[in-house]
């Protein structure tokens, strides 16, 4: 794969049990012989739910956390002087690049200095910001550190955040960033609408390790059908509609269980809805579970449902990882025509796509799959094949390294002497 790259990942929380897509990128890049350092705002301390890969790859020792900026002026001044003295010894050229009061203002320049501290120990080929909101906050590192800035866009950052802050919120990032990686074609179109340079947009799907999700040919009968959803208990997951749809099935299939694995702010409202519908014996909110327990639920389920919707805030999904994992195990899926989901789920082939918030359609497709076991099996096989071909993480990580490498072979937009090939184009279905 060429030379070893030194890559900095900037994330919000780490290790975050719900963000396996970021963990898959980190471990995959390490497996390919690269060096990865993780920078995060918050540490997640729930070790019981920590992914095994965090320990296997010693990721906590590869992670640094941004120290909070002191609120009181004397403490803030002392920290400023301490960082400044370290920079004077280690990175003197960075001082003038960072403290550009005329360009950024005093307050913003000082914030840059505080966030710059953990980066001064090493030189990085690539700084990969894992959300647009992070790229917006760290684009200033490009000139200070003379590095390449990549930014992934995954959902909230292109939907709710833009709705709240206006369409020009990423204007500076678009001007100066080196590459923008939306996780689906739907978001690539949104980036172009917002003014992002098309030549710097590279669709890069979030992948899964399909070898960790064994395909299972489920028993072809209609007894003991189990329906499953995996996702955070938030509005955009559309859980209200899937619960109501299952409630309509119970009259005909009284033994049907519906398990929802995940935690989130809507738990009290969903518990109230389950009680109101008299579904306490049928709908189980399992809470946040470690990866191995999620796999067990997938292996024992027969139908996977994810009724994603556009939230009132504007928040949307990208392409949910839980759908990829379910399809990898051979589950037929029912999902909505939402955001990038149609790029994963082939309607009538690997599952069904329905309109958002359509309880009747959701209940109808569930009933169809319950009563057509052969179709469940056919869809399960088609889904596994599609995920293997288009969302296998090892393939996507090799593409990511190629994209990094080609970016490093250009300087200020012009090819370097040893540049090879044409602009990177990821494999897409």
CATH number of the structural domain spanning residue 314: 3.40.50.2000
Inside any domain, residue 284: yes
Q: How many CB atoms lie within 10 A of CB 52?
A: 11
CA distance 293 to 299: 10
Is 108 among the domain residues? no
Confidence check: pLDDT of 416 > 60: no
Residue 73 domain-assigned (yes or no): no
- Among residues 289, 278, 377, 292, which one has the least CA distance to residue 331? 377
Residue 307 pLDDT exceeds 80: yes
Which among 242, 211, 427, 253 has a CA at the least distance from the CA of 335? 242
- Number of domains into which the chain is organized: 2
Lowest pLDDT segment from 45-59, 139-153, 240-254, 334-348: 45-59
Whole-number pLDDT of residue 110: 85
In this structure, the answer to whether residues 156 and 199 fall within a common structural domain is: yes
* 428 within domain boundaries: no
Question: Token pair of 234, please?
Answer: 């938030």
Which residue is listed with tokens 């990942």? 9
Q: Give CB contacts under 8 A, 24+ apart, made by 408-417.
A: 408/5, 408/125, 408/126, 408/148
Q: How far apart are CA 86 and CA 75, in angstroms?
A: 17
- pLDDT interval class at 220 (50, 70, 90): low
Same domain for 34 and 165, yes or no, is: yes
CB 195 within 8 A of CB 175: no
Residue 340 in domain:
yes
| SS3 call for 196 | coil
Neighbours of 241 (CB within 10 A): 22
Residues 146, 35 share a domain: yes
384 with 397, same domain?
A: no
Q: Above pLDDT 70, what percent of the chain?
A: 93
pLDDT band at 411 (very low <50, low <70, confident <90, very high): low
- Tell me whether residue 110 is in a domain: no
**Same domain for 409 and 330:** no
Mean pLDDT of 180-199: 98
Taking the complete model, does pTM exceed 0.85, yes or no? yes
Question: Would you say residue 76 lies in a domain?
Answer: no
Q: Which domain holds residue 21?
A: 6-65+123-207+393-415
Same domain (yes/no): 173, 240: no
Residue 338 has pLDDT above 90, yes or no: yes
In this prediction, residues 2-15 reach a mean pLDDT of: 92
Q: How confident is the model at residue 45 (pLDDT cuts 50, 70, 90)?
A: low
- pLDDT tier at 105, thresholds 50, 70, 90: confident
Same structural domain for residues 328 and 397?
no
- 411 occurs within a structural domain: yes
Is the domain of 193 the same as that of 335?
Answer: no
Indicate if 344 and 400 belong to the same structural domain. Answer: no
Mean pLDDT of 301-316: 97
Same domain for 342 and 252: yes
| Of the candidate ranges 27-36, 53-62, 180-189, 338-347, the one whose mean pLDDT is the lowest | 53-62
pLDDT value for 70: 87
Q: Give Dmax over CA atoms of the chain in angstroms.
A: 74
- pLDDT of 422 reads 31
Confidence band, pLDDT 50/70/90 cuts, at residue 276: very high
Q: Rounded to whole angstroms, how far apart are CA atoms 120 and 83?
A: 10
Question: Which of 239, 244, 241 has the alpha carbon at shortest distance from 264?
Answer: 239
User: Does 258 have pLDDT greater than 90?
Assistant: yes
Query: What is residue 2's predicted lDDT score, i.e. its pLDDT?
Result: 65
Same domain, 289 and 169: no
Predicted confidence band of residue 47 (pLDDT cuts 50, 70, 90): low
Q: Predicted confidence band at 424 (pLDDT cuts at 50, 70, 90)? A: very low
DSSP 153: E
Whether residues 337 and 198 share a domain: the answer is no
């Amino acid at each position: 794969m060429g030379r070893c790259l030194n890559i900095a990942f900037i994330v919000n929380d780490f290790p975050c049990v719900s963000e396996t897509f970021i963990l898959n990128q980190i471990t995959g890049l390490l497996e390919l012989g690269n060096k990865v350092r993780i920078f995060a705002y918050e540490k997640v301390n729930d070790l019981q739910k920590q992914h095994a890969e965090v320990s296997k790859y010693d990721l906590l020792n590869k992670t640094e956390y941004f120290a909070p900026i002191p609120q009181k002026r004397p403490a803030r001044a002392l920290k400023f002087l301490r960082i400044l003295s370290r920079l004077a010894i280690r990175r003197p050229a960075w001082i003038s690049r960072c403290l550009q009061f005329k360009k950024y203002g005093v307050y913003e320049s000082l914030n840059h200095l505080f966030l710059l501290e953990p980066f001064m120990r090493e030189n990085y080929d690539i700084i990969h910001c894992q959300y647009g909101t992070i790229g917006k906050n760290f684009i200033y590192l490009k000139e200070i550190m003379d590095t390449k800035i990549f930014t992934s866009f995954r959902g909230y950052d292109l939907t709710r955040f833009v709705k709240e802050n206006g369409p020009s919120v990423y204007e500076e990032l678009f001007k100066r960033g080196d590459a923008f990686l939306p996780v689906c074609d739907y978001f690539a179109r949104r980036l172009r609408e917002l003014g992002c340079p098309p030549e710097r947009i590279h669709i890069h799907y979030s992948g899964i390790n399909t070898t960790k999700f064994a395909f299972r040919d489920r028993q072809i009968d209609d007894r003991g059908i189990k329906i499953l959803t995996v996702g955070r208990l938030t509005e955009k997951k559309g859980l209200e509609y899937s619960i109501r749809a299952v409630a309509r099935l119970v009259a005909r299939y009284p033994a049907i269980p519906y398990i929802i694995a995940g935690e989130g702010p809507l738990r009290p409202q969903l518990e109230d809805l389950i009680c109101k519908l008299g579904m306490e014996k049928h709908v189980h909110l399992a809470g946040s579970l470690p990866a191995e327990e999620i796999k067990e639920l997938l292996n024992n389920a027969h139908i996977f449902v994810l009724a994603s919707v556009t939230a009132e805030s504007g928040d949307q999904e990208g392409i949910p990882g839980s759908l990829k994992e379910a399809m990898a195990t051979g589950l037929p899926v029912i999902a909505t025509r939402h955001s990038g989901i149609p790029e994963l789920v082939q309607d009538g082939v690997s599952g069904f796509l329905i309109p958002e918030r359509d309880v009747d359609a959701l209940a109808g497709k569930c009933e169809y799959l319950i009563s057509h076991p052969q179709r469940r099996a056919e869809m399960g096989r088609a889904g596994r094949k599609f995920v293997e071909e288009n969302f296998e993480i090892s393939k996507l990580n090799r593409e990511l390294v190629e994209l990094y490498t080609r970016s490093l072979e250009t300087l200020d937009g012009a090819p370097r002497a040893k540049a090879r090939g044409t602009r990177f184009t990821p494999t897409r279905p």
